[in-house]
């Protein structure tokens, strides 16, 4: 890796079982712009369920990935990385104010809320709100084994980890203008962020500038694509095109793809409504959910926003993972150029927004910029 001597912002690095994504930003005349950008697919079996099964091979791929991105040049040896969503825990809790040390009180509360033993996790917390008799505290935790595995991987490629984040934080930073340091005032909107990824789907309940809780689902883009391919006896690439281009539209392909997707969507809508019911039971003081925001590759499926809207009776929109950049239109154009011929689906003019699959990496990359602006 070649690095300059001037101040450079850290890489946002998103590692999942099936892919690596990186985004690095820089500032020019006070505007945030993309310095480096890339995504590659990983061979199956190297990372399984968030656990690194073949560290030497992953390290080799990661080093080459950082050395030669598709766009730009990586100019930092520092990174903000995301821990596997399925292995992490995040929740807003309330603790009573009292004479005891707050850190000791929160540690005792974490034992009640986190489904892992205290000596097997790393945890962090942040006071979100101070009330008369209570603290509202956002807690996050991850298994020591996973964190140590990832640290060892980054050491092997001479990458200094500036921070490890749980994914909901980076998603919110990417998708919501409220997370920007320049946002004019505290916002009262409540959101559900839905990340429909290749290996899983996650729901993030966000209210008044903080995460409340998360839900992880086994629904995955890969399973949907494979199901279409097996049912229709077509190739995986053809199935991916059909998933995005036809989707849930009854008029496309005589509604055949919609029928295949219907059971998965029914499961997703049921989980969304379960989460809303939990939210309404425990967070009534925050008001109703204002909007559902979609990201990840699944957000490109035709008709998905309308189907979720009908089931949840809440406004649904496809997210904008570039909303907190200085020049989002130019960034979107860049994504189109870099990934315009990355798959057979693109060659068929399939309407895909590739930046939606980068929401986590973008949010990680923005962390350094946001801290710089505080």
Q: Give dist(CA 189, CA 122) in Å, integer.
A: 31
- Which residues is 21 bridged to in the sheet? 14, 39
Mean pLDDT value across residues 41-70: 95
Per-residue pLDDT tens digits for 85-105: 888 999 999 998 877 788 998
pLDDT at residue 344 in the model: 47
Confidence of residue 294 (pLDDT cuts 50, 70, 90): very high
Q: To the nearest 10°, report the CA torsion of 176, 358, 48, 211.
A: -10
Q: Give dist(CA 191, CA 210) in Å, integer.
A: 10
Closest CA to 199 of 167, 173, 176, 230: 167
- Which residues is 216 bridged to in the sheet? 202
Mean pLDDT value across residues 130-152: 92
pLDDT at residue 350 in the model: 44
CA-atom Rg of the chain in angstroms = 21
Per-residue pLDDT tens digits for 59-89: 999 999 999 999 999 999 999 999 988 889 9
Where do we find the tokens 């490890």? 164
Threshold 0.75, pTM exceeds: yes
Q: Give dist(CA 17, CA 42) in Å, integer.
A: 7
Where are the chain's structural domains? Answer: 89-141
Q: What is the CATH number that goes with domain 89-141?
A: 3.30.1490
């Amino acid at each position: 890796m070649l690095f300059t001597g001037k101040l450079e912002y850290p890489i946002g690095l998103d590692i999942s079982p099936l892919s690596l994504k990186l985004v690095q930003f820089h500032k020019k005349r006070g505007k945030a712009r993309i310095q480096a950008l890339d995504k590659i697919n990983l061979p199956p079996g190297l990372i399984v369920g968030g656990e690194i099964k073949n560290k030497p091979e992953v390290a080799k791929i990661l080093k080459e990935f950082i050395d030669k991105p598709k766009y730009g040049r990586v100019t930092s040896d520092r990174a903000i990385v995301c821990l596997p969503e399925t292995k992490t825990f995040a929740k807003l809790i309330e603790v009573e104010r009292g004479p005891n040390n707050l850190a000791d009180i929160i540690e005792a509360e974490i034992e009640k809320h986190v489904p892992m033993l205290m000596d097997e996790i790393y945890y962090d917390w942040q006071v979100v709100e101070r009330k008369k008799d209570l603290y509202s505290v956002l807690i996050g935790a991850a298994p020591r084994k996973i964190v140590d595995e990832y640290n060892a991987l980054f050491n092997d490629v001479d990458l200094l980890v500036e921070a490890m984040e749980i994914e909901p934080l980076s998603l919110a930073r990417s998708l919501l203008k409220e997370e920007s340091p320049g946002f004019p005032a505290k916002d009262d909107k409540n959101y559900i962020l839905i990340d429909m990824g290749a290996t899983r789907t996650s729901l993030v309940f966000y209210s008044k500038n903080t995460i409340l809780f998360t839900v992880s689902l086994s629904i995955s883009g890969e399973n949907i694509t494979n199901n279409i391919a097996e049912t229709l006896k077509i190739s995986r690439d053809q199935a991916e095109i059909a998933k995005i281009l036809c989707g849930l539209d009854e008029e496309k392909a005589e509604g055949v793809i919609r029928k295949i997707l219907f059971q998965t969507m029914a499961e997703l809508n049921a989980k969304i409504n379960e989460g809303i019911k939990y939210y309404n039971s425990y967070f009534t003081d925050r008001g109703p959910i204002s909007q559902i925001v979609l990201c990840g590759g699944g957000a490109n499926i035709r008709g998905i926003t309308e189907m979720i809207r009908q089931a949840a009776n809440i406004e649904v929109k496809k997210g904008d993972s570039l909303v907190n950049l200085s020049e989002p239109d130019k960034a979107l154009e860049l994504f189109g150029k870099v990934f315009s011929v990355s798959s057979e689906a693109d060659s068929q003019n399939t309407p895909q927004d590739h930046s939606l699959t980068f929401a986590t990496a973008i949010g990680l990359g923005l962390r350094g910029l946001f801290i710089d602006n505080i």
